[in-house]
Chain A
Amino acid sequence: MSTDNTVIQARGICNRFGQQVVHENLDLDLYRGEILGVVGGSGSGKSVLLRSIVGLRRPDAGQVRVFGQDLASLGEEQRSAVERRFGVLFQKGALFSSLTLTENVALPLIEHAGLSRTDAEHLAGVKLALAGLPISAADKYPVSLSGGMIKRAALARALALDPDILFLDEPTAGLDPIGAAAFDQLILTLRDALGLSVFLITHDLDTLYTITDRIAVLSQKKVLVAGPLAEVAQHPDSWIQAYFHGPRGRAAEQAAPRTGQEH
């Protein structure tokens, strides 16, 4: 693919915590309009990579270019403008505990889109409904919600500004299978309609088989292999073989074609 189709270009990323090296010379691309699944064992640095890309952590070496710009070298204003095009769903939701769900989603709409409070709360309600939350939850505080509902509300907030790039950190973990399938479909629909690029960290094999265009495997401190699922699954690495051809991988593969062919 040509470079102007690349929305995120990470080159030579190194991340170290004291003696522990998490990433070494890691390269990764995210193309416009694709859903990239990022997989790897626990502790392989998936979330750290996400934090490095969105600029929450400055990598110890290497460069991340987002829409062709290096986030670290931008001024505050420009940086904020780029960050507005991100939607991030954190692993634990990271909803603001002092605000209701509606206020959580309305906050970026008021601050960045310049909507009035009424308009913003109305639109926030739409986003919450889109993420699959009932109206009754809208005025509740995050404390009184289940883990699955927090995930949905966090997705609604990530989608608030209709971002260009959506970062999802284990979005379907803790959702029931029906909810997880609906979640997958929602991401697909949004991607098709809005041309979203999605950076998706997940352990959910069904999600991987159903919606991802490419898969990047994080292992041995770098991206071991990146490509379409069929290609990646053929890689000789023993971890990849165990991952995609273990009992769960086989089950997901068998279930996938039925849904996969629809797209």
Chain B
Amino acid sequence: MEPLSPPSATLDTSSHPACLRIAGDWTLAHYATLRRQSQSLRTQYGDDAVADLSQLGRLDTAGASLLAELLGAQRLARCTAQLPEANRALLNTVYTSVENYCIPVREPERNALLMLLERIGCAVGTLWRDTLQLLGFAGVILQTLMRRALQPHRWRWTPVVAHIEQTGLDAAPIVALLTFLVGAVVAFLGATVLADFGATIFTVDLVAFSFLREFAVLLTAILMAGRTASAFTAQIGSMKANEEIDAIRTLGLNPIELLVLPRVLALLISLPLLTFVAMLCGMVGGAVVCALSLDIPPAMFLSLLQTDIGVQHLLVGLVKAPFFAFLIAAIGCLEGFKVSGSAESVGAHTTSAVVQSIFVVIVLDAVAALYFMEMGW
């Protein structure tokens, strides 16, 4: 059908009763223009106005909805008789479905200050609930762990070993490289500052102390928080979104035992090992800088280590690793369980898992540093 004239709705007031003339193609391409026209027209004619659709060209659902809104039920019933059967059916279908449609009223804008306070309040509430949830979840993990500890035949070694490979072995190169570089940087810094006192020899102590006590475990834990907590959340979260967790429950299995325990155990094993690797690599980094730019040969570096650094520094560093491991794994898994079914939610909770676990690791490390210092260890 050729368009007879540009699409338009005009009100012809010369005749009586007034006549709405509908012309041209009422299609999506002209939607914006037509909607403006019909909105301005709608106030201008009375109930007795008739409509003339004989000039109507093509019609699609967009145009039909405009026509339906413009003409209303009774006029539509009267004037569609002249239309082809297909267009009439379309108009009627559209009309019946949009009959009761109106745009839902949006809530009015509120005071910005009130909204700010509300958001702060919500954030504090969420923080409190999250803390409680994390403590509760840690309790559930420990409870399940204790129950299973007494039943060795129900230990699941295959997933534990698989997760150790993913979280430990696969992460070893990046942990080693990063701590090597940081060790070298610390040695350079120490050398620069200590040279003023003619005490460059203490660079060895600086590197060894910092890596054994703090840097190795902290750097490893932060890397694991970024690498592993996010992986745990994404894995469990997409299972949750796909109703797989629900399937596990309805099969009478325990998702904590099946999904969480292997991950927690794997990280409990791999984080201390990685921490040890990090200590070694950090000190090697320091030793390389000492040998190349401070004239402290590796043999001297080693003998200084033996005489100056007690074994308790190694233990102070290592003892923190399992705690960090447990918290990182617990936060990663818990955030996975909180996913609510959409892809967006998986992303949001993954971010939250990384932020939370890095935060918790640093706070706990600060508290531990205070404690160890007061104890004189």
Contacts and interface: CB of A to CB of B under 8 A. Distances in A.
Nearest to A186: B93
A83 to B, nearest CB: 16
Contact of A98 (B85, B98, B344): B344
Secondary structure at the A interface, as helix, strand, loop or mixed, is helix
Contacts of A121: 103
A189 B345 CA distance: 38
A55 interface: no
B65 A135 contact: no
B79 to A, nearest CB: 17
Given A126-B65, A132-B97, A143-B340, A113 B104 contact: no
Interface stretch (A39-47, A166-174, A190-198): A190-198
A126 B93 CA distance: 11
A130 B60 contact: no
Contact of B60 (A138, A141, A162): A162
A123 B65 contact: yes
B101 A129 contact: yes
A159 interface: yes
B22 interface: no
**Size bracket, chain B contacts:** 20 to 34
A119 B32 contact: yes
Interface residues of A, number: 32
Interface string B1-35: 00000000000000000000000000111011001
B90 interface: yes
B100 interface: yes
A227 B104 CA distance: 47
A132 B87 CA distance: 20
Interface in A130-170: 130, 132, 135, 138-139, 141-143, 159, 161-162
13 contacts: A114-B32, A126-B61, A126-B97, A126-B101, A130-B93, A130-B94, A143-B341, A161-B28, A189-B89, A193-B64, A193-B86, A193-B89, A194-B90
Interface of A: 97-98, 109, 113-116, 119, 121-123, 125-127, 129-130, 132, 135, 138-139, 141-143, 159, 161-162, 186, 189-190, 192-194
